[in-house]
Amino acid sequence: MALSYDFELDFKVRDYECDLQGVVNNSVYQNYLEHTRHEFMLSIGLDFADLFKKGIVAVVARIDLAYKTPLVSGDEFTSKLRVEHQGIRYMFYQDIYRKADDKLCLKGVVTTTTVISGRLAVSEEIKEALERVNAKRK
Amino acid sequence: MALSYDFELDFKVRDYECDLQGVVNNSVYQNYLEHTRHEFMLSIGLDFADLFKKGIVAVVARIDLAYKTPLVSGDEFTSKLRVEHQGIRYMFYQDIYRKADDKLCLKGVVTTTTVISGRLAVSEEIKEALERVNAKRK
Amino acid sequence: MALSYDFELDFKVRDYECDLQGVVNNSVYQNYLEHTRHEFMLSIGLDFADLFKKGIVAVVARIDLAYKTPLVSGDEFTSKLRVEHQGIRYMFYQDIYRKADDKLCLKGVVTTTTVISGRLAVSEEIKEALERVNAKRK
Amino acid sequence: MALSYDFELDFKVRDYECDLQGVVNNSVYQNYLEHTRHEFMLSIGLDFADLFKKGIVAVVARIDLAYKTPLVSGDEFTSKLRVEHQGIRYMFYQDIYRKADDKLCLKGVVTTTTVISGRLAVSEEIKEALERVNAKRK
């Protein structure tokens, strides 16, 4: 059974993201994943920078990444995301596929939460936006 | 029982590493961990860039990070590492502690392997260097 | 008289590119400029990574940047480029405009050259490709 | 006559800073220069992040860099800085030397200024700290 995603974003490797091995440096995939999450949030009406200004600090608690196939200079790829709300946590299942052959390059699980007024707390604004995503999915 | 480490490296946060939330961006910790591994390798006679030139490509297969306490501008910290050799894999247990209060900031497990002539293979050079580390530990 | 450009590329600020002041970090503009140059090169049949593999090393000799208006989270912008061939040098005039109001954000001059077999030399491949750009411009 | 510097900071190239040409990427030198300026500021009692929180926004207006010799994996280098106060501007003359042979790698001039309450203005706090530097120099 194919996993369904809530959001997809296209990218192209930029040469400065490659390291001396000639492949995208491992840390850069986190940049791709973060940008994908933030663009997804925007697509459902949530602005990461605005949330921060309002005191709702979205933070990453865990990140678990399996590197499958390295991206290289010139590669185009699609970053796909599925989100699950679990209590105080928002789990993002994020996979990266190379466009040329749809090959899986990275498989990631990013566990995020929100800190409000210095403590872990559910943001009603985020919760409601994600419930709309879930409703749309069914 | 306290975990023993094989290598430690001191760092100081650089302001360009902080993002709009005023904390070190999540991806930057991977830079810290990579630099720590490469300096550890140098300390046991292995040069990451030289290995690559010789066709021994050290790669990260998995990375699992738990973010505990965010580092901010001005923070000094120590990046600690313990390595375990498991068949074709080199497991790096890498933790980051803030110097001011020895608080755990990041707990990571980085699974690496080596690709030689395009296929997963044990590098004798790396294996022997790591065996010397293990021998010294006991 | 308006300056004419040879190439344009659209970008959107990614949040990880912003620093603790909440604006795109100064160094990141060099990433934008480099990616623009490499995409321009591709558009005229030159591949930066391939040139390197063939021993033609394109290098930056000088970079002169005037920061006019800071880009912030969410900004979309266009990176524009004009190239002039001057002997051993390729001068890139590179400007960045914010899309919302066409405001000039960055004005740059990037002086590049090529190193072939360890010494400064004109690459016939690059020279001919740029001559085609000049011919098209008139 | 040798130029005298007000501040020096030692660095070592980190492998993730190198790009597919196997040298430190051009943009990374700006990171080195920024970190040097901020550490210099700290050494004279000025904290970049604190100034920002107090509404004193130190900004780069221009950056002019001449790339002389590329740094590579493993290189240690010293980043040296001299500051001149010119009205609303603080000029930083910043040079990078490779430690192994004292070879000049980068020659830079960074023109900075301060924005207070949304407009260019002299910060008395910065001005006085820099005057102490000048006094010490003579």
Structure tokens at D64: 């002019």
pLDDT at A3: 66
Share of chain A above pLDDT 70, in %: 97
Minimal C-alpha gap between A8 and chain D (Å): 28
Once rounded to an integer, what is the mean pLDDT over residues D108-130? 93
Residue of D6, D10, D15, D19 marked active site? D19
Task: Return the closest-CA partner of residue D5 out of D28, D31, D29, D36.
Answer: D36
List the catalytic residues of C.
19
Task: List, in order, residues 6 or more apart from C114 with CB less than 8 Å away.
Answer: C56, C57, C58, C59, C88, C90, C120, C121, C122, C123, C126
ipTM comes to 0.94
Instruction: Please tell me if residue C34 touches chain D, with a CB cutoff of 8 Å.
Output: yes
* C-alpha Rg value of chain A to the nearest Å: 16
**pLDDT (tens digit, 9 = 90+) per residue, C3-55?**
699 999 999 999 999 999 999 999 999 999 999 999 999 999 999 999 999 99
Confidence of residue D1 (pLDDT cuts 50, 70, 90): very low
Give yes or no: A47 in active site. Answer: no
Amino acid at A44: I
Once rounded to an integer, what is the mean pLDDT over residues D27-42? 98
* C-alpha Rg value of chain C to the nearest Å: 16
**List of chain A residues with pLDDT < 70:** 1-3, 138
What tens-digit pLDDT sequence spans chain B (138 residues)? Answer: 456 999 999 999 999 999 999 999 999 999 999 999 999 999 999 999 999 999 999 999 999 999 999 999 999 999 999 999 888 899 999 999 999 999 999 999 999 999 998 899 999 999 999 888 888 876
From chain D, pick out residues whose CB is under 8 angstroms from the CB of A73.
20
pLDDT at B138: 66
pLDDT at D135: 85
Amino acid at D59: V
Query: Which of A18, A19, A29 is the best residue to mutate to test the D interface, defined by the most D CB atoms within 10 Å of its own CB?
Result: A19
Instruction: Please tell me if residue B20 touches chain A, with a CB cutoff of 8 Å.
Output: yes
pTM: 0.96
8 A C-beta contact, residue A95 and residue A106: yes
The whole-angstrom separation of Cα B120 and Cα D132 is 59
- Contact across the interface for A48 and C15, Cβ inside 8 Å: yes
The whole-angstrom separation of Cα A56 and Cα A39 is 17
**pLDDT (tens digit, 9 = 90+) per residue, D55-79?**
999 999 999 999 999 999 999 999 9
pLDDT at D138: 66
The whole-angstrom separation of Cα D123 and Cα D58 is 9
Amino acid at D51: L
pLDDT at D137: 79
Instruction: Please tell me if residue D38 touches chain B, with a CB cutoff of 8 Å.
Output: yes
